[in-house]
């Protein structure tokens, strides 16, 4: 296949190629790759949106490659029912993936969409030259800039906006990856994917509904509301999960846009056969977790043996389960019991996080805002929140686990005081409790990460399920209980 392509290309180019061919790449693959002037007619780079990666360049001579990238400021979901105004390269976060060959001459066109409000530019870490192109590419809305660079070094490089305030431009999603292939190309694999982590700072809390503006103070304090792959929670889960079959090789181009956090990139249930840490040339093997610095990248490769859902996380693990840094690679194929016995655990492990489906929660929030919240809205929203928050221990059936987690179903403990659960959810519970005649001496941690609406909806669902007494809890009651808890001195 490759040789046929080469023959075609040779025929098309005629004698011009000979010069380039004699300037073959130096054998040491870390040397600068100036393989002479570009050969042949200029090529328009194929750009892709994440998680897709452009095809290998499959070319054996340096070319002039034209890249056209447009900056688009747009509102997109960052989580179910939560929107954010992202600033993007190419309309997506991360920005379009760019793929060229070492030694190529890249003619870069940066366009700033006329509907945008801000000036922008681009600093490509794969550029040798001041600012990585930033000064030459400063572009006002409705304008276009052009600059040219030679891709001297191979590797996987981050690009980002470098317009002041730089942190804000990066924090709004202005980053992506450019792969500068070695002259001989990368080893072929079955799948290549593009996954890039970023941290986001919103004025509202994690999963607080509605449009959320950027919070400069949280960004300076490095306290992200969201840490996500590919620009939003759930962008690579459920129907949008990455896919492979058993017995295939997968290469992921992993980037980290930051602006602040370093990623401990890990795939639960896989071992990276090969990693090129920091996107460089040295290969590392048999790696569990690889560090991806802010403004850095890595190439990871592994072979799939056993079907199931593999979970990509930042192993700074609260970010995965409480800030969104979670993606899924779904591997289909026959079981391989000799390597792994089976039994899928991802539902218990991930709860609602593997496929956030919080539409009812969004509906309830909107209804509450409009003053039209019904009991039914609350129950539906509460059920979705219960799954993945409370169900981990009390089970989706509300039956609990004998001796460990007490039942919420037909609980005489709840029936005795239907408002008591508000305090239990906010403050946790420990010491001996007797539920339906059985003693439990365990610990329930406070669920204080839930907001007032969420607690009210969950408890309304609990009260109206499994033979419990009914009734409802509203957000104001929860707010009062929270305030009492925060100022205990005020209570008597």
431 lines the binding site for ligand HEC (CB under 6 A): yes
Site for ligand HEC in 358-387 (CB under 6 A): none
Nearer to Cu ion, 84 or 386 (CB): 84
Site for ligand HEC in 67-106 (CB under 6 A): none
460 lines the binding site for ligand HEC (CB under 6 A): no
CB of 27 to ligand HEC, least distance (A): 58
Nearer to ligand HEC, 287 or 475 (CB): 475
Binds ligand HEC (CB under 6 A): choice among 82, 202, 413, 453? 413
Find where tokens 């957000």 sit.
475
Q: Which does 430 bind (CB under 5 to 8 A by kind): Cu ion, ligand HEC, none?
A: ligand HEC
Distance of alpha carbon 471 from alpha carbon 462, whole angstroms: 10
Site for ligand HEC in 324-363 (CB under 6 A): none
Which two tokens mark 29? 């693959």
287 lines the binding site for ligand HEC (CB under 6 A): no
Nearer to ligand HEC, 299 or 478 (CB): 478
Q: 393-412 mask for ligand HEC (x: CB under 6 A)? A: xx----------xxxx--x-
Alpha-carbon 104 to chain mean position:
31
461 lines the binding site for ligand HEC (CB under 6 A): no
The residue ranges that bind Cu ion (CB under 5 A) are 120, 161, 163, 169, 174
Q: Which does 396 bind (CB under 5 to 8 A by kind): Cu ion, ligand HEC, none?
A: none
Q: Which does 163 bind (CB under 5 to 8 A by kind): ligand HEC, Cu ion, none?
A: Cu ion
Nearer to ligand HEC, 36 or 418 (CB): 418
Which two tokens mark 221? 């304090």
CB of 359 to ligand HEC, least distance (A): 20
CB of 183 to Cu ion, least distance (A): 33
Nearer to ligand HEC, 271 or 317 (CB): 317
232 lines the binding site for ligand HEC (CB under 6 A): no
Closest by CA position to 140, among listed 119, 123, 121? 119
390 lines the binding site for ligand HEC (CB under 6 A): yes
478 lines the binding site for ligand HEC (CB under 6 A): no
Distance of alpha carbon 216 from alpha carbon 313, whole angstroms: 26
Stretch that binds ligand HEC, among 88-96, 106-114, 159-167, 421-429 (CB under 6 A): 421-429
Nearer to Cu ion, 103 or 171 (CB): 171
441 lines the binding site for ligand HEC (CB under 6 A): yes
Instruction: Show the 3-state SS of the chain.
Output: CHHHHHHHHHHHHCCHHHHHHHCCCCCCCCCCCCCCCCCCCCEECCCECCCCCCCCCCCCCCCEEEEEEEEEEEEEEEECCEEEEEEEECCCCCCCEEEEECCCEEEEEEEECCCCCCCECCEECCCCCHHHHCHHHCECCCCEEEEEEECCCCEEEEEECCCCCHHHHHHCCCEEEEEEECCCCCCCCCEEEEEEEEEECECCCCCCCEECCECHHHHHCCCCCEEEECCCCCCCCHHHCEEEECCCEEEEEEEEEECCCCEEEEEECCCEEEEEHHHCCCCEEEECEEEECCCEEEEEEEECCCCEEEEEEECCCHHHHHCCCEEEEEEECCCCCCCCCCCCCHHHHHHHHHCCCCHHHHHHHHHHHCCCCCHHHHHHHHHHHHCCCCHHHHCCCCCCECCCECCCCCCHHHHHCCCHHHHHHHHCEEEEEEECCEEEEEEECCCCCCCHHHHHHHHHHHHCCCCCCCCCCCHHHHHHHHHHHHCHHHCC
> What separation in angstroms does the CA of 45 have from each of 4, 34, 68, 97, 182?
22, 19, 8, 10, 17
CB of 202 to ligand HEC, least distance (A): 23
Stretch that binds ligand HEC, among 76-84, 203-211, 268-276, 429-437 (CB under 6 A): 429-437
Q: Which does 174 bind (CB under 5 to 8 A by kind): Cu ion, ligand HEC, none?
A: Cu ion
Q: Which does 307 bind (CB under 5 to 8 A by kind): ligand HEC, Cu ion, none?
A: none
CB of 325 to Cu ion, least distance (A): 23
CB of 160 to Cu ion, least distance (A): 8
CB of 462 to ligand HEC, least distance (A): 5
CB of 324 to Cu ion, least distance (A): 23
Where does this chain bind ligand HEC (CB under 6 A)? 389-390, 392-394, 405-408, 411, 413-414, 421, 424-425, 429-431, 433, 435, 440-445, 447, 458, 462
């Amino acid at each position: 296949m490759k040789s046929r392509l080469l023959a075609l290309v040779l025929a098309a180019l005629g004698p011009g190629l000979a010069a380039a061919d004699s300037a073959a790449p130096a054998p040491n693959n870390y040397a600068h790759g100036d393989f002479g002037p570009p050969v042949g007619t200029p090529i328009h780079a194929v750009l892709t949106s994440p998680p897709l990666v452009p095809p290998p360049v499959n070319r054996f001579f340096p070319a002039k490659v034209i890249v056209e990238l447009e900056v688009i400021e747009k509102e997109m979901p960052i989580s179910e029912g939560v929107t954010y105004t992202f600033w993007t390269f190419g309309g997506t976060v991360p920005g379009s993936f760019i793929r060229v060959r070492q030694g190529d001459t890249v003619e870069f066109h940066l366009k700033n969409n006329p509907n945008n409000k801000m000036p922008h530019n681009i600093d490509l870490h794969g550029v040798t030259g001041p600012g990585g192109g930033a000064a030459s590419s400063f572009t006002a809305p409705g304008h276009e800039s052009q600059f040219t660079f030679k891709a001297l070094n191979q590797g996987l490089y981050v690009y980002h906006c470098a317009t002041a305030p730089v942190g804000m431009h990066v924090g709004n999603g202005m980053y992506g990856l450019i792969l500068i292939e070695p002259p001989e190309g990368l080893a072929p694999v079955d799948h290549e994917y593009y996954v890039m982590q970023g941290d986001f700072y919103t004025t509202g809390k994690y999963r607080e509904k509605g449009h959320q503006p950027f919070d400069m103070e949280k960004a300076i304090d490095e306290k992200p509301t969201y840490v996500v792959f590919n620009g939003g929670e759930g962008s690579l889960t459920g129907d949008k999960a990455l896919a492979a079959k058993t017995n295939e090789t997968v290469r992921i181009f992993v980037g980290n846009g930051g602006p602040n956090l370093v990623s401990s990139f890990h795939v639960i249930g896989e071992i990276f056969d090969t990693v090129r840490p920091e996107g460089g040339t040295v290969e590392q093997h048999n790696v569990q977790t690889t560090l991806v610095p802010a403004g850095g990248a890595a190439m990871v490769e592994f072979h799939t043996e056993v079907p199931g859902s593999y979970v990509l996380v930042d192993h700074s693990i609260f970010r995965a389960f409480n800030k969104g840094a979670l993606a899924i690679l779904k591997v289909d194929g026959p079981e391989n019991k000799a390597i792994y016995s089976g039994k899928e655990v991802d539902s218990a492990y991930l709860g609602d996080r593997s496929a956030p489906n919080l539409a009812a929660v969004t509906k309830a929030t909107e209804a509450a805002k409009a003053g039209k919240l019904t009991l039914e809205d609350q129950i539906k929203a509460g059920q979705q929140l219960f799954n993945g928050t409370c169900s981990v221990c009390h089970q989706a059936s509300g039956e609990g686990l004998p001796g460990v987690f007490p039942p919420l179903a037909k609980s005489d403990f709840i029936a005795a005081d239907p408002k008591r659960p508000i305090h239990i959810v906010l403050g946790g519970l420990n010491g001996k409790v007797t539920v339906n005649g059985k003693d439990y001496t365990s610990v329930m941690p406070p669920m204080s990460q839930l907001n007032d609406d969420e607690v009210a909806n969950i408890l309304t669902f609990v009260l109206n399920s499994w033979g419990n007494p009914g009734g409802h809890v509203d957000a104001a009651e929860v707010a009062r209980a929270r305030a009492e808890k925060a100022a205990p001195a005020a209570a008597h």
